[in-house]
Every structure is written in structure tokens, then in C-alpha cells.
Structure 1
Amino acid sequence: MSNYPHRPAIESDGYAPTLKRLNQISRLLDNAITIPGTQVGIGLDPILGLIPIGGDVLGLMLSVYIIIESARLGVSKASLSRMVVNIIIDALIGAIPMLGDFFDFAWTANNYNIKLLEDYLNSPGEKKKADQGFIIALFAGLFLLTIVLIALPVILIRMLWNALTSS
């Protein structure tokens, strides 16, 4: 379930079912299949990234679900911000043809985000939740990123097509 064997606080606070589901999603996206003879895993995210234009957007949307659930669990602004930075890095570099496909295999943003969530849920002391305005701003930014990930390849393909057909 957890990457950490000693997590009594998480189980006792009722976070275990959500955390288990998020761990499964993260594993599916980042390292569902282990390459035989190695500890390297390949998940759905790098495979989706091979699909032109829409693949990276679909991977981003699946990654955002982990952030939505983390916000619902009351994760702090700082942790949510780090989670968003992880998937922005994954989405922007992953959108670069060829280089991004290799990067997606190495950068496991969802695993990093699950670790941030677990660390937050297991940390002792007062837990300060992110306010609703902050969460709305984060998701508005992610929505804009989605638009950019769709528009940028379309614009580049159109420019390439125009360059090829005008000569």
C-alpha cells in the first residue's frame, strides 16, 4: 500500500482507502510494468506520451486526479504547489518530441506526488489546509497548461506543414 512500512497515523486517520487508490493510480501511470532483470518500471504515462498531441494531455489529466484527491484530503499549499510543479515539469518536457518520451520514462511525477502526500499525512503537528481560492487558482493554471499542450503542437504542425507546402 504505502512506500513506507510504518504508517500508523495514516491508517488510523481513515486515509488508507484513498491513499491505497492513489498509490494504485500512481503505479499504473509511472511503473506498472517492470523491465525484466532491472528495477526500472514503465507506466501508462510514458506510453500515452507517444500519442501525438492528446497523449500528454491525457497523462496530465490523470496526474491531476492525484492532486485533486490530495487537496480533498486537506494537503497544505506548499505540498500542493510541489505536486503541481512535478506534473508541470512532466507535461512540458514530456511534450517535446522524442526527448520528452525518454524523459517520461525517468521522471515519475506521480510517484513523487504520492511521496509528498504520504509525508504530509504522516507529519506530526498542526496541519494547515490550502484554502479554496488557492486550489481554484492551481486548477485554473493547470487548465491553461492543458490548453497550451494542445495548442502548441497544433501550431508547430501547421507551421511545418506551411513550410513544406510553400516550397
Structure 2
Amino acid sequence: MSDSPPRFSMIEPDAKAPTLKRLRQLSRLLDNIITIPGTKIGFGLDPIIGLIPIGGDFLGVMFSSYIILEAARLGVSRATLGKMVLNVIIDGLVGTVPVLGDLFDFAWKANINNIKLLEDYLRFPSQQKSADRWFIFTVLVGLLLISILLVALPLILIRILWNALTGG
């Protein structure tokens, strides 16, 4: 009678609250742990990690990917996961631009945005299909490839710049 068996979260309902709490703490740590006194402006470890040459943006994407993986385990839809991945891609790619990327990291809170998407989905679950294991695997491989690109791109640009300056 039914087309396919219903899809359920890979995390038991009783474990959702602690998982969500842990993800909130991680997103706060990455995006908003420090508030500038006298302002509402905050930042976290993500822009600080982003200052590490070459590998900083890679690490930032890896931490953000963990939040996406856990959201998938909570049964979030493909559409919501796609939005979450887009937030991380924007954060990672703009983060590779020297100075501008570092300033952007202070304003763009990809992890906090992703937690809001997760909370909205859990509060009002849609009838959209949950992500299956292959979709999740594809998303994580894609994020890994983007992370590798974030390491390779600055190295390529440095080499081009070096060759232009030295005439080599």
C-alpha cells in the first residue's frame, strides 16, 4: 500500500535534545563565544582559526561539516541540509580571500545560521524526504573536496605570485 517505508532519524528521540545542545555549544564556540564589550558584536574561533595560513579555512569547514553530519543524523531533510552546506561553502570560499575573508568571517555566522535551520526543521518538520546515507555521503565528500580546494587555492595563488615576482 505504501510506496516506501517511512524514514526515521538515526538518533533516538531522547538523544535529540542533548545532541542539539552540543551542536548549539559548538556553533557558539565557533561563531560567537567572545563579545566585544559595549557592543552586540561577537566572534568565535572560526575567524581566529581562519587566520592560520593555508589550513585555517580547511579546519573551519571541517568543524562546520560536523554540525551538518549531526543534523543529517537527526533526520533533517535534503533541502535543509543543502542550505546548511551552502552556508559553509560561502564561509569557506570567501574566507580564502586575504583580509576580506577574515573580515567576512566576523560578520557571516555560518554555524549559527545552520543551527537556526536545524532548530526550525526540528520545530516544524516538513514532509520533505529525509536525507539518505548516499546523499549524506555525497555531501560530506563534497565538503571534503571543497576543504582541499581551500588549501590548494592559496598555494596555487602564492606560486603564481611568486613566479610573477621572481620572473620564474
Provide TM-score, normalisation by structure 2.
Answer: 0.88
Which residue number in structure 1 is paired with residue 75 of structure 2? 74
* Mean CA deviation greater in 125-134 or 111-120: 125-134
* Mean CA deviation greater in 25-34 or 138-147: 138-147
Q: Deviations over 1:18-64 (max 9, x none)?
A: 01100000000001000000111010001111111111111110110
Which residue number in structure 2 is paired with residue 135 of structure 1? 136
Offset, 1:127: 6.3
Question: For 2:131, what is the secondary structure of its paired residue?
Answer: coil
Counterpart AA for 2:111:
N
Q: Structure 1: any 5+ residue segments left out of the alignment?
A: 1-11
Q: Distance in 2 between matches of 1:124 and 1:72?
A: 14
Q: Distance in 2 between matches of 1:103 and 1:94?
A: 7
Which residue number in structure 1 is paired with residue 61 of structure 2? 60
Which residue number in structure 2 is paired with residue 102 of structure 1? 103
Q: Distance in 2 between matches of 1:135 and 1:124?
A: 18
Which residue number in structure 2 is paired with residue 26 of structure 1? 27
Q: Distance in 2 between matches of 1:86 and 1:133?
A: 21
Counterpart AA for 1:132:
R
Offset, 1:159: 1.1
- Aligned positions of 1:87-98 closer than 5 A: 87-98=88-99
**Percent identity of equivalent pairs:** 66
Q: Distance in 1 between matches of 2:126 and 2:68?
A: 22
Q: Distance in 2 between matches of 1:76 and 1:89?
A: 20
Q: Distance in 1 between matches of 2:125 and 2:23?
A: 22
Number of aligned positions between the proteins: 156
Q: Distance in 2 between matches of 1:38 and 1:138?
A: 37
Which residue number in structure 1 is paired with residue 48 of structure 2? 47
* Mean CA deviation greater in 116-125 or 78-87: 116-125
Question: For 2:37, what is the secondary structure of its paired residue?
Answer: coil
Which residue number in structure 2 is paired with residue 9 of structure 1? none
Counterpart AA for 2:99:
M
Question: For 1:96, what is the secondary structure of its paired residue?
Answer: coil
* Mean CA deviation greater in 90-99 or 128-137: 128-137
Which residue number in structure 2 is paired with residue 158 of structure 1? 159
Q: Structure 1: which 4+ aligned runs deviate by more than 6 Å?
A: none
Offset, 1:128: 3.2
Provide TM-score, normalisation by structure 1.
Answer: 0.88
Offset, 1:125: 5.8
* Mean CA deviation greater in 136-145 or 90-99: 136-145
Counterpart AA for 1:76:
S
